[in-house]
Amino acid sequence: MIETQGLHHITVTTSAPQAFFTLMTKTLGLHLRQQTVNLDDPSSEHLIFTADLAATAAALTVFCQPGQTPAYRGTNLLTPISLAVASADALPFWQTRLDAQGLAVEMVQHRFGHAGFTFTTRQGLRFQLVCPPAAPSAMIPTTPTASTIPAAFRIIGLGPLTIRALNPAPLITLMTQVLPYHHHQITGNWHQFQDPAGHLVWVEQRSDLPLTIPGTDMGHHAAFAVADESSLPAAAAAFSAHGWAHSAILDRNGFKSIYFRVTPRMRFELATRTHWPTRATGLTLPASLEPRRAEITAQLPLSLEGWS
């Protein structure tokens, strides 16, 4: 069993970097912690956001891919991307705020005791805003923000990792035999998994949809956090034992990772805990890419110069 510590990050892709940046920072009130590039494709800008300024906060990150083909969002997909608020009292505020931005907002619904609603960007990327059944007041962020969002209504972090799957069986194996989650509850075609610390994964079984065709404006991958690099060789052995394809252990410029797939179209990662910078102060590159800084900077789709 690989001991994980909840989510390290979720990564999505966007064809509209400026609109996504504005949504994250100005509308949702998230903090931009780092501006870097996709280490596997340095032509793609990579932005890292968190709800608070904790050093090891779980992050929502985005690969900027303007001009690329949109995804067909079917099954075997990370969707919707979950963000959490501390209280159901925040939901009407967010419905009004997001509706005013022209986003497609759905009605409040309940799942496994969580109230929440979904909203969709103009590019088709779906999010959900949820609140746990009982959220302690300590979860409310105390870090400063320049936004107009009342403190009690602020987003407090990532919500349950939510997956749409053709066949949940490989995910059940992953969660209960390799990661420290138990199969907590089933309601209709929805499965809930929970680890000892209370971190949640939701899986929606959808056999009525074709498989996702990768493209932009979709969930790219989800990373579970591990304490340190010592967990990764055992994880690689476990993945191999189950016949799951996986990468080597990779240096991700601040943390170590291993990527793996348990089902088609879906990519997961185990990542060691990292300390995000308090604030993005410019483009961060690994030493191997520093000689190409001018070239990389010139092709970035989003300029953050003067942003505050």
Query: How far apart are the C-alpha atoms of 29 and 25, rounded to whole Å?
Result: 5
Query: How far apart are the C-alpha atoms of 283 and 268, rounded to whole Å?
Result: 26
**Tell me, what's the pLDDT at 132?**
86
Please provide the distance, in angstroms rounded to a whole number, between the alpha carbons at the two ends of the chain: 43
CB atoms under 10 Å from CB of 275, counted, come to 11
Which structure tokens are listed for 32? 């931009």
Q: Is the pLDDT of residue 261 over 90?
A: yes
Query: How far apart are the C-alpha atoms of 254 and 42, rounded to whole Å?
Result: 16
Which H helix or E strand runs over 183?
strand 182-187
CB atoms under 10 Å from CB of 34, counted, come to 23
CATH match for 7-299 among 3.10.180.10, 3.30.70.920, 3.30.2400.10, 3.40.50.2000: 3.10.180.10
Instruction: Show the DSSP H helices in the chain as ranges.
Output: 17-22, 90-100, 169-173, 231-241, 293-299
Residue 136 pLDDT class (50, 70, 90 cuts) = very low
Side-chain-facing half-sphere of 55: CA atoms under 13 Å: 4
Which structure tokens are listed for 91? 């939901």
Q: Where are the domains of the chain?
A: 7-299
Residue 279 pLDDT class (50, 70, 90 cuts) = confident
171-193 pLDDT tens trace: 999 999 999 999 989 999 999 99
Residue 135 pLDDT class (50, 70, 90 cuts) = low
When pLDDT is averaged across residues 48-61 and rounded to a whole number, the result is: 94
Residue 301 pLDDT class (50, 70, 90 cuts) = confident
Query: How far apart are the C-alpha atoms of 63 and 224, rounded to whole Å?
Result: 18
Q: Is the pLDDT of residue 304 over 80?
A: no
**Tell me, what's the pLDDT at 78?**
98
**Tell me, what's the pLDDT at 228?**
94
189-215 pLDDT tens trace: 999 999 999 999 999 999 999 999 999
Residues in the chain: 308
The mean pLDDT value of the chain amounts to 92
**Tell me, what's the pLDDT at 118?**
96
Query: How far apart are the C-alpha atoms of 240 and 56, rounded to whole Å?
Result: 29
- The CA–CA distances, whole Å, from 31 to 50, 97, 126, 156 equal 5, 18, 20, 11
When pLDDT is averaged across residues 231-242 and rounded to a whole number, the result is: 97
Question: What pTM was computed for the model?
Answer: 0.94
Which structure tokens are listed for 263? 């089902």
When pLDDT is averaged across residues 98-126 and rounded to a whole number, the result is: 93
Query: How far apart are the C-alpha atoms of 32 and 200, rounded to whole Å?
Result: 25
Higher pLDDT, 259 or 138: 259
By CB atoms closer than 10 A (0-12, 13-18, 19+), residue 303 is exposed
When pLDDT is averaged across residues 220-235 and rounded to a whole number, the result is: 96
**Tell me, what's the pLDDT at 142?**
46
Q: Is the pLDDT of residue 67 over 70?
A: yes
Q: Is the pLDDT of residue 70 over 70?
A: yes
pLDDT > 90: percent of the chain: 86
* Contact of 296 with 37, CB cutoff 8 Å: yes
Query: How far apart are the C-alpha atoms of 196 and 246, rounded to whole Å?
Result: 26
Long-range residue pairs from 27-30, CB within 8 A, at least 24 positions apart, any chain: 27/97, 27/98, 27/101, 28/83, 28/155, 29/145, 29/147, 29/149, 29/154, 29/155, 30/60, 30/155
**Tell me, what's the pLDDT at 306?**
44
* Contact of 48 with 31, CB cutoff 8 Å: no
**Tell me, what's the pLDDT at 109?**
87
* Contact of 271 with 9, CB cutoff 8 Å: yes
Residue 137 pLDDT class (50, 70, 90 cuts) = very low
CB atoms under 10 Å from CB of 230, counted, come to 9
Query: How far apart are the C-alpha atoms of 203 and 111, rounded to whole Å?
Result: 12
Q: Is the pLDDT of residue 308 over 50?
A: no
- CA-wise closest residue to 262 among 178, 163, 174, 179: 174
pLDDT > 70: percent of the chain: 94
